[in-house]
């Protein structure tokens, strides 16, 4: 069967025997729910405290100590010395196990607290009526109504999309919301981030509205596949665990050798065999360092407590030592190396560049710069909320909240600007014309049309340009300069918005794109990116100084990934970057051979991340993985 993104809407609806206007009947929904099961991820049964306790006794060292305790007990009874040494060894092992159990259960309870979220509800069309239902009760074939702010409850094929944008960064690694449509995708091998006619579980709608038919629930969703990979991942042994296991075996062989040697020598000298056996065993027991296990556990527990003070949860004690042995760090980009927050970093107005990384003093803004910020600010649907402590919160599309942030930093408050220049009409953004326009009431009764959008789309309706406070006809030379600047920003992985305006005396009888968006005055451009965290550059330097190789693994586009990696020092001259589609075709042998050449892996799927971690591990490297997205989970488990 063809993937759902390759099928027309009618074909998908027919497959699930559902009407887009009526939805499933209650009886059909109940039947399908019974067949597919609840719309939730299957979870592994958590280990009980008893299981965690007995797991502390699995290592070779502990087994040898238990044998030593048994032998000491036998010797003590036979020689009339009692069981003191046996009880001491057992007490050490029990204290060691208790410390391990306490630390692991504390970490697990912290993780459980992080995982507890209220069950979301969804608007579903059943029996021709829209009702709200708990998302776990959704079934394949259900028609779900999607509005701004909704969380996608399951994987669905979109059957209606009106200016729909969905934030899928947790799954795909892309910083900006994906624009969605209902058009059929012809290609078969399409990354998740490019499946524009699909909506995936855990996505958040940031703009527009739509409808979708559910094609996968629970473990049959893309997130479910990741959960399945997590559950099938093998537990990896830590470096310390390997070394202690090795030491335990060596001590075991040494103790056995001592027993045999002493016993043989004693017999040769004519001593009684029982006496020699007792002596040999006593020496073997004495050779075993009973305190090593508890000393190593206490040292690791101290490390855990130190990390707790740095707001880090350590789930298992040996991970502390593994962290210190790390040779390679594979890091996700979005939200880990970057802030997961679009930020305006560059601009252009009157042919001059503006560096918003080092923004001008608000009082020194030129009139043209002020118009650029004012028009772009008024032409946003983002919301600004000022908090009592002087900080603020934003809500809305990330590119628009970026404009609100930079304007506020330069003393232009969106709420105050809208109060002074109220919106009287608008032409909303749509994915065909890739522009948005608002009409605002300006001073002295004038109206101003403010437009923002893609460069080609804005230039297509522009006839004039603002240059140093004066409006004149735009020339081919102006357009060439603008395009060159746009290309320069795009090569730096910036998302570029163009801004224009037009003053009118009154609203036309019919307000639409044709009557409003024409004869515009081009103001300038704003370039934005999800920037690197301020502390990352120094962290990368420290890693390299410590002999640790940092690499970037991301679901985002290659150009963006390389730009950020170059900025923070992960990608340097001579390094290579590889995209997920190339990685997909690359044999494991080739990846193993060339793994050290690559510093950036872009547009990768969760299974690619696992392959990359395994390839580094096969070189004998101790690999750490960092990431905050659902798509990072299998690689985190593997590392």
CATH number at residue 581: 3.40.50.1000
Counting Cα atoms < 13 Å in the Cβ hemisphere of 6 gives 9
DSSP string, 488-525: HHHHTT-EEEEEEEEEESS--SS-SHHHHSSSEEEEEE
**pLDDT beyond 60 at 116:** no
Interval 477-491 mean pLDDT: 91
Residues 10 and 148 in one domain: yes
Q: Indicate whether 251 and 300 sit together in one domain.
A: yes
DSSP 318: T
User: Which residue, 510, 529, 548, sits at the end of a domain?
Assistant: 529
Angle (deg, nearest 10), helices 222-232 and 606-617:
30
Does residue 90 belong to any structural domain of this protein? yes
Q: Are 57 and 101 in contact (CB under 8 A)?
A: no
Position 316 in a domain:
no
- One domain for residues 498 and 409: yes
Indicate whether 87 and 182 sit together in one domain: no
Phi and psi angles of residue 199, each rounded to the nearest 5 degrees, phi first: -125, 135
Query: Which CATH number does the domain housing residue 423 bear?
Result: 3.40.1110.10
CATH of the domain at 149: 2.70.150.10
User: Cβ(446)–Cβ(409) under 8 Å?
Assistant: no
Known catalytic residues are: 332
Q: Tell me: do 19 and 101 sit in the same domain.
A: no
Three-class secondary structure of residue 239 per DSSP: helix
In a domain, 321, yes or no: no
Q: Is residue 131 part of a domain?
A: no
Q: How far is CA 300 from the centre of its chain?
A: 29
Give the C-alpha separation, 100 to 52, whole Å: 8
> pLDDT tens across 325-367, in order?
889 998 888 778 888 888 899 999 988 898 888 877 778 888 9
- Looking up tokens 């390299």, which residue turns up? 544
In a domain? residue 259: yes
Q: What are phi and psi of 142, to 5 degrees?
A: -65, 140
In a domain? residue 133:
no
Domain boundary among 498, 513, 529: 529
Residue 317 is assigned to a structural domain of this protein: no
Give long-range contacts, CB 8 A cutoff, 24+ apart: 192-198.
192/168, 192/222, 192/555, 192/605, 193/168, 193/555, 193/603, 195/5, 197/5, 197/157, 197/158, 197/161, 198/4, 198/5, 198/155, 198/156, 198/157, 198/158
Max mean pLDDT range (216-220, 273-277, 457-461, 626-630): 457-461
Q: How many domains does the chain have?
A: 4
Q: Which range in 76-80, 188-192, 233-237, 548-552 is most confidently predicted, on average pLDDT? A: 548-552
Indicate whether 247 and 224 sit together in one domain: no
The pTM score is: 0.66
Check residue 360 and give its pLDDT: 76
Express each pLDDT in 12-51 by its tens digit: 999 999 998 899 998 999 999 998 888 887 766 667 777 7
Reported as a pLDDT band with limits 50, 70 and 90, residue 525 is: very high
Say whether both 72 and 145 belong to one domain: no
Q: Are 514 and 410 part of one and the same domain?
A: yes
Please report the DSSP string for 584-615 in residue order: HHS-HHHHHHHGGGEEEEES--HHHHHHHHHH
Residue predicted with more confidence, 573 or 335: 573
Contact in structure between 526 and 575 (CB atoms under 8 Å): no
Structure tokens at 177: 């919301």
Structural domain span for residue 272: 49-114+238-309
Same domain (yes/no): 83, 208:
no
State whether 350 and 460 are in the same domain. yes
Nearest to 522 by CA among 577, 567, 466: 466
Q: Could you tell me if residue 513 is left (phi over 0), alpha (psi between -120 and 50 degrees) or otherwise beta?
A: alpha
The token pair at 365 is 């803004």
Q: In this structure, are 21 and 88 located in the same domain? A: no
Last-in-domain residue among 172, 205, 231? 231
Token duo for residue 122: 């969804």
Please indicate, yes or no, whether residues 556 and 418 belong to a single structural domain of this protein.
no
Is 199 within a domain? yes
Question: In whole angstroms, how large is the CA radius of gyration of the chain?
Answer: 32
């Amino acid at each position: 069967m063809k993937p759902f993104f390759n099928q027309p809407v009618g074909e998908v609806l027919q497959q699930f025997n559902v009407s887009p206007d009526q939805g499933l009947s209650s009886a059909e929904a109940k039947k399908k729910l019974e067949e597919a099961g609840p719309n939730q991820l299957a979870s592994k049964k958590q280990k009980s405290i008893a299981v965690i306790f007995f797991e502390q006794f699995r290592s070779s060292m502990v087994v040898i100590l238990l044998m030593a305790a048994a032998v000491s007990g036998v010797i003590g009874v036979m020689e009339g010395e009692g069981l003191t040494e046996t009880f001491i060894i057992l007490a050490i092992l029990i204290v060691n196990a208790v410390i391990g159990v306490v630390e692991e259960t504390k970490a697990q309870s912290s993780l459980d607290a992080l995982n507890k979220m209220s069950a979301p509800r969804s608007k579903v069309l059943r029996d021709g009526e829209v009702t709200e239902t708990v998302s776990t009760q959704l079934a394949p074939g259900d028609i779900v109504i999607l509005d701004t702010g909704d969380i996608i409850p399951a994987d669905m094929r979109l059957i209606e999309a009106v200016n729909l944008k969905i934030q899928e960064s947790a799954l795909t690694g892309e910083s900006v919301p994906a624009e969605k449509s209902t058009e059929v995708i012809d290609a078969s091998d399409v990354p998740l981030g490019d499946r524009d006619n699909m909506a995936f579980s855990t996505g958040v709608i940031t703009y527009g509205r739509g409808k979708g038919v559910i094609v996968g629930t629970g473990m049959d969703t893309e997130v479910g596949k990741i959960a399945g990979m997590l559950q099938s991942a093998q537990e990896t042994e830590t470096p310390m665990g390997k070394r202690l296991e090795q030491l335990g075996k060596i001590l075991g062989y040494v103790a056995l050798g001592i027993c045999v040697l002493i016993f043989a020598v004693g017999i040769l000298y004519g001593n009684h065999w029982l006496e020699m056996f007792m002596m040999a065993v006593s020496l073997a027991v004495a050779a075993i360092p009973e305190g090593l296990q508890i000393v190593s556990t206490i040292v690791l527990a101290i490390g855990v407590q130190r990390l707790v003070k740095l707001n880090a949860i350590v789930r298992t004690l040996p991970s502390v030592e593994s962290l210190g042995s790390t040779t390679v760090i594979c890091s996700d980009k979005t939200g880990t190396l970057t802030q997961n927050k679009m930020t305006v970093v560059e601009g252009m107005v009157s042919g001059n560049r503006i560096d918003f990384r080092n923004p001008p003093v608000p009082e020194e803004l030129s009139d043209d710069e002020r118009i650029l910020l004012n028009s772009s600010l008024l032409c946003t649907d983002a919301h600004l909320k000022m908090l009592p402590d002087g900080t603020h919160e934003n809500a809305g599309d990330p590119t628009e909240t970026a404009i609100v942030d930079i304007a506020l930093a330069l003393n232009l408050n969106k709420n105050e600007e809208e109060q002074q220049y109220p919106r009287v009409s608008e032409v909303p953004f749509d994915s065909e014309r890739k522009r948005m326009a608002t009409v605002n009431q300006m001073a002295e009764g004038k109206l101003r049309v403010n437009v923002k959008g893609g460069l080609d789309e804005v230039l297509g309706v522009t006839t004039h340009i603002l240059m140093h406070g004066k409006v004149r006809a735009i020339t081919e030379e102006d357009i060439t300069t603008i395009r060159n600047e746009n290309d320069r920003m795009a090569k730096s992985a910036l998302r570029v918005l163009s801004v224009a305006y037009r003053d009118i005396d009154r609203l036309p009888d019919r307000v639409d794109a044709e009557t409003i968006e024409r004869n515009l005055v081009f103001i300038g451009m704003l370039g934005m990116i999800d920037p690197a965290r301020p502390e990352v550059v120094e962290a990368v330097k420290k890693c390299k100084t410590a002999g640790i190789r940092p690499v970037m693994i991301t679901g985002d586009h290659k150009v963006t990934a390389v730009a950020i990696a170059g900025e923070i020092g992960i990608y340097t001259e001579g390094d290579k970057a590889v995209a997920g589609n190339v990685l997909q075709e690359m044999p494991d042998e080739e990846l193993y051979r060339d793994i050290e050449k690559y510093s950036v892996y872009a547009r990768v799927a969760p299974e690619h991340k696992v392959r990359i971690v395994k390839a580094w591990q096969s070189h004998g490297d101790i690999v750490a993985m960092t990431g905050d997205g659902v798509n990072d989970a299998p690689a985190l488990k593997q590392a």
